[in-house]
Amino acid sequence: MPRLTTRAIVLLAVVLLLLASYTSTLHAWWQQRGEIQQTRAQIASTRDDIAELEDQKQRWNDPAYVKQQAKERFGWVSPGEVGYRVIGSDGKVQGADVPTLDAPPEAEQPQWYDKLWGSVKESGKDPKPRPTTTPDPDKVLKDQ
């Protein structure tokens, strides 16, 4: 039966120490590799988004595209055309999202100019008299 010598124990300790140090380094490398792949995917996605936005920007320079968008988004029709809207049984416009020309909601809070004019009115009034308070006799005696 072979016996472990001091030299074998030291060699085994050195191998275990190297293995532990390389394991943490390998783990860090693997983690960074994953982060690099995620970043590359994000960069590719961002480039695709930029290309799509630039294409859309170029389309807005075309008057025919602007006219088409106005017809789709606002329900506009050219002179001489007849526009139709299909209204469902619930009373809502069916199909494309066409904004309706409803009256804007009433603002519950006064507008800034109403607040300003109200402060101008208040500044012309006489100031309200301050209520006179009689000092508390117990407090006066404690303060002395």
Q: Please give the full DSSP string across 5-41, using - where no structure is assigned.
A: PHHHHHHHHHHHHHHHHHHHHHHHHHHHHHHHHHHHH
Q: Is residue 101 part of a domain?
A: no
- Residue pair 36/61 in contact by the 8 Å Cβ criterion: no
Q: Is residue 144 part of a domain?
A: no
Q: Is residue 94 part of a domain?
A: no
Q: What is the DSSP letter of 96?
A: S
Q: Is residue 92 part of a domain?
A: no
Give 124 or 78, the one with higher predicted confidence: 78
pLDDT value, residue 140: 67
Mean pLDDT throughout 59-83?
A: 88
Strand partners, 50: none
Give 44 or 76, the one with higher predicted confidence: 44
pLDDT value, residue 21: 87
Q: What is the DSSP letter of 97?
A: -
| Global confidence as pTM | 0.42
Structural domain count of the chain:
1
Cα–Cα distance between 83 and 71 in angstroms, integer? Answer: 10
- Residue pair 65/57 in contact by the 8 Å Cβ criterion: no
Answer whether residue 130 shows pLDDT above 80.
Answer: no
Q: Is residue 38 part of a domain?
A: yes
Q: Is residue 124 part of a domain?
A: no
Q: Is residue 117 part of a domain?
A: no
Give the structural domain span for 23.
Answer: 1-77
Answer whether residue 107 shows pLDDT above 60.
Answer: no
